[in-house]
């Protein structure tokens, strides 16, 4: 089994990582870094609870370090863990700067340790469904792709307050942008131009709470959007091609189930209710169809399945440090574009 330490015991660790580590027989949850309190000890009495990153790094029995702590810690913790001979998983965003991402890639290569970024939104049902629809050519040649990650949160956060402070990696573009950017890169590859609009909408905001980023390809425009002042939600995704369109509303069910304490097990995990199926309106074999298209079953556990095979058997890693680097590159270019109010050529 892969002896695993989880850094931090916040929402990210409790919701998106620990449930999949503890239900995967390839891993053992042996250590949790919780700065204060004893919530993790009550939940996992067999795990060793530590208070400092040094205790994790110095423990030679730990094989894998999963970093779920604030963004400012991602780079130094990942660097220290790999130099100590451990594999690492880094929550998004991978790092706060391109230079940090480059250094982690170099350390991963020199030490032979895996450095993976947790791009779990590759394993949600709506994304898997869109990927299949595009790959199967159901819409013809895609010309427009819209992805929204909107919320209605007019008031300051009551948790994760560091995200709203003027710190490196704060704001929703670093928080939610990596999900949408990574999905776009998986579907369409690198764009040719980037046009970014990143700003503060709420009167008390110290960091960005809105972004609208366009990725321009040959005959394709990808729009990535997020706002915290959307009370009435529209479609989450829209794809328009030369043959038809796919419109998808609602959210993948996994996050809410995990927050409610559900265990990610059983054959129905990740299945979406039919009421949230997307609308496919296209032409197939000369016949026009307009009907609900079943959402494929997702599971964040697929990330950890691949990670286990990569660590134990040398299988190809799906979510690499290079993937994290590319997302940070897009983030930095979009910020530059927004500041200079012009499109940036890649």
Nearest to 142, CA basis, from 286, 237, 239, 248? 239
Which residue in 153, 293, 144, 344 sits closest to 224, CA to CA? 144
pLDDT, tens only, 67-76: 999 999 999 9
Residues 76-101 have a mean pLDDT of: 98
Domain with CATH 3.30.360.10 in the chain: 121-298+330-345
287 has which bridge partners?
Answer: 284
CA distance 77 to 88: 9
- Predicted confidence band at 33 (pLDDT cuts at 50, 70, 90)? very high
CA distance 168 to 278: 37
Q: Rounded mean pLDDT of the chain?
A: 96
pLDDT tens per residue, range 280-327: 999 999 999 999 999 999 999 999 999 999 999 999 999 999 999 999
The model's pLDDT over 250-275, given as tens digits with 9 standing for 90+, comes to 999 999 999 999 999 999 999 999 99
107-126 confidence digits (pLDDT tens): 999 999 999 999 999 999 99
What does the pLDDT read at residue 246? Answer: 98
State the pairing for strand pair 64-67/220-227.
Answer: unpaired
pLDDT of amino acid 165: 81
pLDDT band at 159 (very low <50, low <70, confident <90, very high): low
Q: How far apart are the first and last CA of the chain?
A: 43
The average pLDDT across 1-15 equals 96
Looking at residue 23, its pLDDT comes to: 98
Percent of the chain's residues with pLDDT above 90: 94
Q: How far apart are CA 169 and CA 184, in angstroms?
A: 21
The structure tokens 């948790």 sit at 159
Selection from 68, 63, 31, 67 nearest residue 46 by Cα: 31
Q: What pLDDT does residue 293 have?
A: 98
Residue ranges of E strands in 77-141: 87-91, 115-118
pLDDT of residue 168: 87
Give residue 335's pLDDT band: very low, low, confident or very high (50, 70, 90): very high
User: Which CATH superfamily groups domain 121-298+330-345?
Assistant: Dihydrodipicolinate Reductase; domain 2 (3.30.360.10)
Q: Is the pLDDT of residue 179 over 70?
A: yes
pLDDT, average across residues 162-190 = 93
Give yes or no for residue 161 having a pLDDT over 80: no
Q: Residue 118 has what pLDDT?
A: 98
Query: 24 versus 157: which is more confidently predicted?
Result: 24
Residue 284 forms beta bridges with which residues? Answer: 287
**What pLDDT, on the 0 to 100 scale, is given for residue 163?**
72
How many Cβ atoms from other residues are within 10 Å of residue 167's Cβ?
16
Contacts of 55 (CB under 8 A, 6+ apart): 33
**Residue 219: predicted pLDDT:** 96
* Beta sheet of 64-67, edge-to-edge order: 48-50, 27-33, 2-7, 64-67, 87-91, 115-118
- Cα angle: 299, vertex 296, 243; to 5 degrees: 140
Residues forming CATH 3.40.50.720 domain(s) in the chain: 2-119+303-317
For the range 200-205, what are the long-range contacts, defined as Cβ-Cβ under 8 Å and sequence gap of 24 or more?
A: 201/227, 201/228, 201/229, 202/154, 202/228, 202/229, 204/156, 205/164
For residue 164, pLDDT over 90 is answered with no
34 vs 164, more confident: 34
Kindly indicate the confidence band of residue 167, based on its pLDDT and cuts at 50, 70 and 90.
confident
Q: Where do the DSSP E strands lie in 200-293?
A: 210-217, 220-227, 237-241, 245-248, 278-284, 287-293
How does pLDDT run across 207-256, given as a tens digit for each residue? 999 999 999 999 999 999 999 999 999 999 999 999 999 999 999 999 99
Give the integer Cα–Cα distance in Å for 3 and 64: 6
Could you tell me the pLDDT band of residue 28, with boundaries at 50, 70 and 90? very high
What would the CATH number be for the domain defined by 2-119+303-317? 3.40.50.720
pLDDT of residue 158: 65
């Amino acid at each position: 089994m892969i002896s695993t330490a989880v850094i931090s015991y916040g929402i990210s660790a409790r919701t998106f990582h620990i449930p999949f580590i503890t239900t995967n027989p390839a891993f053992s949850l042996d250590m949790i870094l919780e700065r204060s309190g004893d919530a993790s000890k009550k939940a996992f009495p067999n795990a060793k609870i530590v208070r400092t990153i040094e205790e994790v790094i110095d423990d030679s029995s730990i094989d894998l370090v999963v970093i779920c702590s604030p963004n400012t810690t991602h780079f130094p913790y990942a660097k220290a863990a790999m130099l100590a001979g451990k594999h690492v998983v880094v929550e998004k965003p991978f790092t706060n700067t391109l230079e940090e991402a480059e250094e982690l890639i170099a350390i991963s290569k020199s030490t032979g340790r895996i450095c993976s970024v947790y791009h779990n939104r590759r394993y949600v049902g709506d994304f898997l469904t869109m990927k299949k629809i595009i790959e199967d050519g159901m819409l013809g040649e895609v010309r427009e792709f819209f992805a929204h990650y909107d919320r209605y949160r007019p008031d300051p956060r009551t948790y994760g307050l560091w995200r709203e402070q003027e710190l490196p990696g704060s704001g929703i573009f670093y928080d939610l942008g990596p999900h949408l950017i990574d999905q776009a890169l998986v579907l369409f590859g690198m764009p040719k131009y980037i046009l970014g609009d990143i700003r503060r909408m709420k009167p008390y905001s110290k960091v960005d709470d809105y972004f609208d980023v366009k990725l321009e390809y040959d005959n394709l425009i990808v729009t990535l959007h997020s706002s915290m002042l959307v009370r009435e939600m529209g479609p989450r995704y829209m794809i328009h091609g030369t043959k038809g369109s796919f419109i998808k509303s609602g959210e993948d069910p996994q996050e809410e189930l995990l927050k409610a304490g559900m265990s990610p097990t059983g054959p129905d995990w990740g299945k979406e209710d039919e009421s949230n199926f997307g609308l496919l309106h296209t032409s197939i074999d000369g016949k026009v169809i307009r009907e609900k298209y079943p959402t494929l079953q997702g599971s964040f556990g697929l990330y950890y399945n691949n990670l286990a095979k990569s660590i134990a058997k040398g299988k190809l890693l799906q979510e690499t440090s290079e993937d994290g680097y590319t997302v940070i590159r897009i983030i930095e270019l979009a910020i530059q574009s927004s500041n200079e109010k012009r499109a940036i050529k890649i």
